[in-house]
């Protein structure tokens, strides 16, 4: 299981990469594996407000439709449009293929580091 150490994670399997005042958000390798082949993702729009620990997107895989929770609060400044054309990119590389970029005002207090996240994944396995 691939868990990059430079990222922070939500126990619901989303990652966040903070770069100054902006944060990129995606789903973890564990999440894409559990979902199976991803078919669609419904993305928010640039300018939308997102709230930490609340759902900001839905992912549909061949197994199920699932919500994606936001690790930060703030305003969406970019969305990964490649995912509109091919949501399967999330299976190929869930870390290169971020989902949204947020100008954030606050981080979720549920975020954990890579080591703690690995423990969570092992418990869920």
Partner 1 sequence: MIDLLFELSKKGSNKFSMPELDVPEVSVSAKRGTELDLPELPEVEVMRHYTALSRLVHGVEDGPYPLGSCTMKYNPKLNEVTASLDGFTGIHPLQPADTIKGCTEVLKLTHSALCGVLGMDAVSFQPAAGAHGEMTSLLVMHKYLQSIGQTQRTKIIVPDSSHGTNPASAVAAGFEVVTIPSYSNGMVDMDALKAAVGDDTAAMMLTNPNTLGIFDKQIAEMAKVVHAAGGLMYYDGANLNAIMGWARPGDMGFDIVHVNLHKTFSTPHGGGGPGSGPIACKKFLQAYLPYTELDYRQGVDAEKSIGKVKAFHGNFAVIVKALTYILALGAEGLKDASGKAVLNANYLFKQIASLYGEQYRHCMHEFVVSASKAGDDYGVHALDIAKAMLDEGIHPPTIYFPLIVKEAMMFEPTETESKESIDSLAKTMASIFSVAASNPDALHAAPLKAYIGRPDEVKAAKDMKVTAKF
User: Which residues of the chain form contacts with partner 1 (CB under 8 A)?
Assistant: 34, 36-37, 39-40, 60, 62-66, 88, 124-125
In the bound complex, what is the minimum distance in angstroms from residue 90's beta carbon to partner 1? Answer: 12
Question: Min. distance of Cβ 11 from partner 1 in angstroms?
Answer: 13
Taking the complex as a whole, the smallest distance from the CB of residue 34 to partner 1 amounts, in Å, to 8
Closer of 6 and 55 to partner 1 (Cβ) = 55
What is the residue-wise DSSP string for the chain?
----TT-EE-TTSEEEEEETTEEEEEE-HHHHHHH-SEEEEE---TT-EE-TTSEEEEEEESS-EEEEE-SEEEEEEEE-THHHH-TTHHHH-TTTS--EEEEEEEE-TT-B-HHHHHHHHHHH-
Residue 58 CB, shortest distance to partner 1, in Å, is 10
| 3 state SS for 29-52 | HHHHHHHCCEEEEECCCCCCEECC
């Amino acid at each position: 299981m691939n868990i990059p150490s430079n990222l922070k994670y939500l126990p619901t399997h989303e990652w966040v990469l903070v770069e100054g005042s902006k944060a990129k958000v995606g789903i973890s390798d564990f999440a894409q594996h559990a979902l199976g082949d991803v078919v669609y993702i419904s993305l928010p729009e640039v300018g939308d407000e997102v709230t930490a620990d609340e759902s900001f997107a839905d992912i549909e895989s061949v197994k199920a439709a699932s919500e994606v929770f936001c690790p930060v609060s703030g305003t969406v400044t970019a969305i990964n449009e490649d995912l509109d054309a091919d949501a399967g990119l999330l299976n190929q590389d869930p870390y290169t293929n971020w989902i949204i970029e947020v100008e954030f005002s606050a981080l979720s207090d549920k975020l954990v580091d890579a080591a703690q996240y690995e423990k969570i994944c092992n418990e869920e396995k």
